[in-house]
Amino acid sequence: MGHIIGIDLGTTYSCVAYLEGNEPRIIPNLDGLSTTPSVVSFTTSGERLIGNLAMRQAITNPENTIIAIKRLMGKKFNSEEVNDTKNRILYRLAESPNGDAVVELDSRLISPQEISAMILKYLKECAESYLGDKVTETVITVPAHFDDHQRQATKDAAKIVGLEVIRVINEPTSASLTYGFNTKKNATIAVFDIGGGTFDITLMEINDGIFQVLATNGNTYLGGEDFDNRILDWLIDEFKKENNIDLSQDKLALQRIKEAAEKAKRELSFTLESEIHLPFICSEKSGSKHIRKNLTRKKLEELTRDLVDKALPFIEQALNDSKLGCENIDEVILVGGQTRMPLIRKTITEFFGKEPLEHINPDEIVAMGAAIQSGILKGKMKDLILLLDVTPLSLGIDTENDIFIRIIEKNTTIPCKKSRSFTTVEHNQRRVKVKVLQGESEKSSENKPLAVFDLVGIESASAGVPQIDVTFEIDSDGLAKVSAKDVYTGKEQKIEVRPSFGLTQEEINKIIKRT
């Protein structure tokens, strides 16, 4: 039997692991490094570069270098998040015929799933080279607050490169498996996960090999990219004050500044001051201009404190949902490279009243947990016997007057199945349109539509007489199926919730043929 790999497909960096015996091990990439930049670049000669090679030429080829693609997975082009992203990236976005946000490269439109598949293909090749064997199965991780569309898009990306996803697992849950594997003790833990693009907080109870998620919350648009952008904006503003030159439309300059901003941010996790020196950033009649600024840790904290504070209400909500207080949390685990920032560590320590664990590598813990989960699914991990995850968002249907009726509440343990009865609102109504939504607002219009289908052939009767049972079923990957049944006639309609946008099976097959 071949190896199953665990993949942490990150916004800025990705990581892959496997089980060696019963021990999770990180698989190095082809450069010998434990993590790979989630970057794809296309050269003028048509060559495709992945990871470190793509990063190395990003400055000279910014318009054809794709970064942070994870933030666009399962997103509409006209969504608020994509509109914000468009102002921050150097490559072009476009709207596909079905409304998706896609990358525009020359005259070609490339979906986020296909870009992600290119990264996954590289990780798969790294694993096959390291293990000396074909790899066809994976456990892949996603942010806990990814919705149904984003989870399906992630599975589609893996399918494109011939990887069967045997389980989609939430990133904080995956991290907790690594913690439980290393400590072998019972505890109630908080996993604070902030990586390049997303933030999650998950509260979990570990008891005699049973890992049960109590509550999860988060923001899929809060991460290290936002911290980098604060430094970038500061440098552009300072340069404009000193030289009366606006660099915000100079893509070559922006890429250089962005890389310098990320480098300075990383340095300030370990030092109190970082020098940012970018010679010949632009030229004008009076000569070449340079950026030379000292960024202190104190200044960085001033620029980004509101981003750190933005995470706290999500933690409070998760504690409230789980009916726990900070005093009930035994351990705090930090996940994601952004958690190396001293201000984040200080804020989380003050919030929970205890120091986070220091001995776990935040860049590797998620991929290792995915590898452990593969062992659980295959019956190899005898001490870790059960993982009980939850659905991060409520699922329900739209009813009269823009009212959202929840059928499955958020933080319900999955897999699960729940039903609720409805009726008609008009006399002799023979058809009912079922609109499936995901979210927490009481108003349907403020939640995310997942699917729409019709139940036809309903019993002809007065309004309020027919009984229509709507059933939601969520599998262990967090993906939903919905059915509606007229109890009297037995007429039933079922649908596996695949988004009205996203890739069709035909589109997936076309991408597979050209990759």
Residues 440, 417 contacting (CB under 8 angstroms) = no
CB count within 10 Å of CB 22 equals 13
Q: Is 70 a catalytic residue?
A: yes
CA distance 98 to 100: 6
Q: Is 171 a catalytic residue?
A: yes
Residue 338 CB contacts under 8 Å (≥ 6 apart), including other chains: 194, 195, 196, 223, 224, 227, 344
Return left, alpha or beta for 106; rule: phi > 0 is left, psi -120 to 50 is alpha, else beta. Answer: left
Tokens 């100079």, residue? 250
β-strands 40-42, 65-66: how paired?
A: antiparallel
Residue 71 CB contacts under 8 Å (≥ 6 apart), including other chains: 11, 81, 85, 197, 198, 220, 221, 225
Beta bridge pairs of residue 199: 194, 219
CA distance 438 to 211: 25
User: Own/partner pairs for 45-51, CB < 8 Å, 24+ apart?
Assistant: 48/118, 50/118, 50/119, 50/121, 50/122, 51/119, 51/122
Beta bridge pairs of residue 180: none
Q: Is 193 a catalytic residue?
A: yes
Residue 127 CB contacts under 8 Å (≥ 6 apart), including other chains: 3, 5, 16, 18, 27, 135
Residue 482 CB contacts under 8 Å (≥ 6 apart), including other chains: 434, 436, 451, 453, 470, 471, 472, 473, 494, 495, 497
Angle at 497 between CA 493 and CA 499, to 5 degrees: 125
CA distance 338 to 348: 13
CB count within 10 Å of CB 231 equals 26
- Name the nearest CA neighbour of 260 among 284, 285, 235, 242: 235
Beta bridge pairs of residue 495: 482
Beta bridge pairs of residue 470: 420, 484
Return left, alpha or beta for 323; rule: phi > 0 is left, psi -120 to 50 is alpha, else beta. Answer: left
* Side chain identity, residue 282: C
**Per annotation, catalytic residue among 137, 147, 171, 389:** 171
**Per annotation, catalytic residue among 137, 147, 193, 459:** 193
- Name the nearest CA neighbour of 75 among 158, 147, 159, 176: 147
Catalytic residues: 8, 70, 171, 193
